[in-house]
Amino acid sequence: MHDDRALVEARLKRVLDERIRPAVYPESVALEVAAWVAPGRPGEPVPVAEGLAAAHTPVAVGDAWGAPWRTTWFRVRGTVPEAWAGRTVEAVLDLGFDERMPGFQCEALVYLPDGTPVKGLNPRNQWVRVGAPVRGGERVEWHLEAASNPVVLGVPPFRPTALGDPETAGSAPLYRLARMDLAVFDTEVWELALDLEVLGELMAELPVDAPRRWEVLRAVERALDAVDLQDVGGTAAAARRRLREVLAAPAAASAHRISAVGHAHIDSAWLWPLRETVRKVARTTANMTALLADEPEFVYAMSQAQQYAWLKEHRPEVYARVRRAVAEGRFVPAGGMWVESDTNMPGSEAMARQFVHGKRFFLEEFGVENDEVWLPDTFGFAAGLPQIIRAAGAKWLLTQKISWSRVNSFPHHTFRWEGIDGTRIFTHFPPVDTYNCRLSGAELAHAARNFKEKGTARHSLAPTGWGDGGGGTTREMVAKARRLRNLDGSPVVRWERPADFFARAEAEHPDAPVWVGELYLELHRGTLTSQARTKRGNRRSEHLLREAELWSATAAVTVGFRYPYEELDRIWKTVLLHQFHDILPGSSIAWVHREAERAYAAVAAELEALIGGALTALAGGGDRRLVANAAPHARGGVAAGAVGGPVVSGGPVAAGPRPGGGFVLQHDLLRVEIDGRGLVVSAYDRAAGREAVAPGAAANLLQIHPDFPTMWDAWDVDAFYRRVVTDLTDADEVVLAAAAPEAATVRVVRRFGGSRVVQTLTLARGQRRLDIDTEVDWHETEKFLKAAFPLDLHAERYAAETQFGHLYRPTHTNTSWEAAKFEACVHRFVHAGEPDWGVALVNDATYGHDVTRTVREGGPGGARGTTTTVRLSLLRAPRFPDPETDQGIHRFRYALVPGATIGDAVREGYRINLPERAVTGAGAVPPLVAVDDDAVVVTAVKLADDRSGDVVVRLHEARGARARATLTCGFPLAGAVATDLLERPAEDGPALEREGDTVRMALRPFQLVTLRLCRAVGAHAAG
């Protein structure tokens, strides 16, 4: 028989596109349309009542509308023709959509005249049902709150655009009304289109020599023969009958099983501002609750408690529908986090609070507790995350993003992920390789072929629906799933809740393979540096929150101070929101980051006021000069978490000229040489007799690279950037700015390109570190600024702080996995060392860094050896999606600590992020709680969220070794219990030995512990 596949397939495509799909709406009449543009720039949303009551002006199909970021209220009216009685009728409302871009352009929420939300409109969801059937003669009226969001990620993509900021986006209309009709909806034609689409997609994925492919081909051919192209509606039923047999053929017993989960990934901000996400959530959930009502098998999942909170506040009618669907078990609150955050950069306590606030919201609002963590789009996962997940009461993780890695293909789809403390979390990467699955034949076939656990497991998950900008699952996707429930040649598809999928997957694969350490995404490494102000705001907010909780709890327990429950809860939620995986990573439009900067400033001001009030209450009246130490380690003679009189120790600092130019700063611990270029050419540890700076090298060397990745500008740095580098060695000024026994400072000024850097290098009495304060007035484009510290160390690995501990990364590139980690994340410290001596580099605002090693071949002077170079990533200047990324003034503080152990690195990392506070008062204040082992670090001291007055302490072992610690309370202790992150008794906490007001415990390496300390009767004076 002749091979006519190409002919039949081409015929199918043309008949579907040109005859069958257009025949879904065979008759239509125009609607009357009028419009009102919300006033002001950038067209902020107005109350619904105002939009409904506004004076609308007539407009027509073809008219331009929608300046960037404006809101237009359309009113559409019409009458259903009497002749349509008994038929299904819909309004078709096309605002000028591009069907390729759901979630990335104009959208609308449809209301009834009384203000009741109906559904959302987007490029893949343009209809509003009138009736099925109609009586004929009905008057219809809807109001459309339409957002003319610009297409920032256009074609071609990643081109600089002014559209991401309403101040620069202009006022020219972006869209034209394309269709505003009432139309007959021919259900039989629509079903025929779906039959043919499913079979055509299936056929294309089957082997050419497979009998099933030819069975499908012939059935499709017979169905097309039955379609009268001039009367598609009249012949659709006959065509469908010719497809029944081939659609009824059951799947093979060995077919891959796919759990489809209705989904609409909604970025809480990205190419749109937060305010627009509020409306995206309303549009999407209105559609999904309506789809749930129409389709009894459909299941929908939505993560991010913040988005539910927005819906509750701004669209309570839609939220009421969500609550009902949640109660039915079909609308699933997923993930248990406040937002789908970045997980690399949030600090220990912030990462914990993502789960605390997310899970508590779902528990209080819906009585739902999540076992799964849902992070499909996050840019890699820190090695400290598994025990945080476990401590939050969850046990499963889903993500898809690792499939974007460019170098190495991750070896598993279903596996157990082991974190730094040994905790293992059952994890699934959907092999469909998208979180916007459409249930196409190509996607399903790819999932089955791609699934790496074939032979030992057979189930995978497919998040199904349009996403990024929302939209969700469509009725077409649900119809395809119905056909794919049991179809020969295809994976078997079932709608299923995430928890049901995970329970089945874990049961069928109890011996799943193990992956140890971070889940590093080999892409989007630039997000560790882009938008430095956002990152600095996050770091500063995290530490201010620590201080506010610590001092407020101490004051509440000791002097009856009012504990600011409401204020702290609200501020935490603001900070957690801005850790969303396109805000903190710096990959959003200018508008988002400008708002973030304002939000962080407001947070800082409020927290400073809370801290000041608590410390004033604690210190009492008096004029004694005191210091408040919020760090988890004693310093300057003041205990951790205490207020006391500072004690100066150590030898005085001496400063003088250096032969050949520059200056020498020294005391009894360190001797630092800064040459005439303002570079550190020596940092000598007097006690160990060791030099930190590699021979012939200079530290604190600023280096600049060209930075123009192949795509994804704000997201990516590509490895080739390293091949071109300029060392910034010319200095305008190198002066001794201060010289005193307490501290000496050298000031260095440099200019390069259009930018200027001012640095102060300070050696303080009693401190084995060199503090470097860097202010950059940055006016470069597509450049990458680094600060390099070449160290005289032979180190095959280095330690980088992560949540509740640290992880080790290699300094070599033996394998492609190691070479791919050319830019990685760190929190407060990097530590590199030999067995008996090491060096730490600590910072107060940076995350991106790299560590490399080179071998010195030697020569005169015997300088042969290994140089380990640590570089901090300070600034980038990508032009998309914000063409003015990071222009302006930035400040960074970092410090070089020669002779540091891991414990020293932990201590100095806290010191630089939690500087002492000067306080005037009556006298010293002892700590509310004290721990006798510096290896055990307290990350939070607060009052219990249930307002019982109990004191909650979170701590962890920080050095990667076992520890025994005694915690002493500064109040009468009635009881102590280990809890989970939500402050409920934990099943797997450490054994606690209580004696009086002390609690003893033994901790495993990096073990995270939360303690709830009940105060004795009479001690509940406040809180």
Q: Which positions are catalytic? A: 377
In 3D space, the residue among 581, 571, 535 whose CA is nearest the CA of residue 382 turns out to be 581
H or E stretch at 424: strand 424-428
Q: Helix or strand or coil: residue 111?
A: strand
Give the C-alpha separation, 643 to 922, whole Å: 11
Residue 976's H or E segment, with its range, is strand 973-979
**Residue 35 to residue 334: CA distance in whole angstroms:** 38
Q: Tell me the residue type at 92.
A: V
Greatest Cα pair distance in the chain: 102
Unique residue bearing structure tokens 């309570």: 316
According to DSSP, the residues that pair with 472 across neighbouring strands are 466
List CB contacts of 706: < 8 A, sequence separation 6 or more.
721, 724, 782, 783, 784
Three-state secondary structure call for residue 478? helix
150/639 Cα distance (integer angstroms): 55
Instruction: Please report which helix (H) or strand (E) contains residue 849, including its range.
Output: strand 848-856
What is the spatial distance between Cα 217 and Cα 242, in angstroms, rounded to a whole number? Answer: 12
Give the HSE-up count for residue 604: Cα atoms under 13 Å, Cβ half-sphere.
Answer: 13
Six token digits for residue 243: 């497809």
Q: Is cis: bond before 386, omega within 30 of 0?
A: no
- Alpha-carbon distance of 647 to 22, in angstroms, equals 83
Single-letter residue type at 190: W
The angle formed by the CA atoms of residues 466, 469 and 474, to the nearest 5 degrees, is 25
Determine the Cα angle at 814 with ends 811 and 820, to 5°. Answer: 70
Phi–psi pair at 533, nearest 5 degrees: -65, -40
Chain centroid offset of residue 679 CA: 37
| CA distances from residue 731 to 337, 675, 739 in whole angstroms, order as listed | 48, 11, 21
- DSSP track, 257-310: EEEEEE---B-SSSSS-HHHHHHHHHHHHHHHHHHHHH-TT--EEE--HHHHHH
Angle ∠(996,1000,1005) on CA atoms, nearest 5: 165
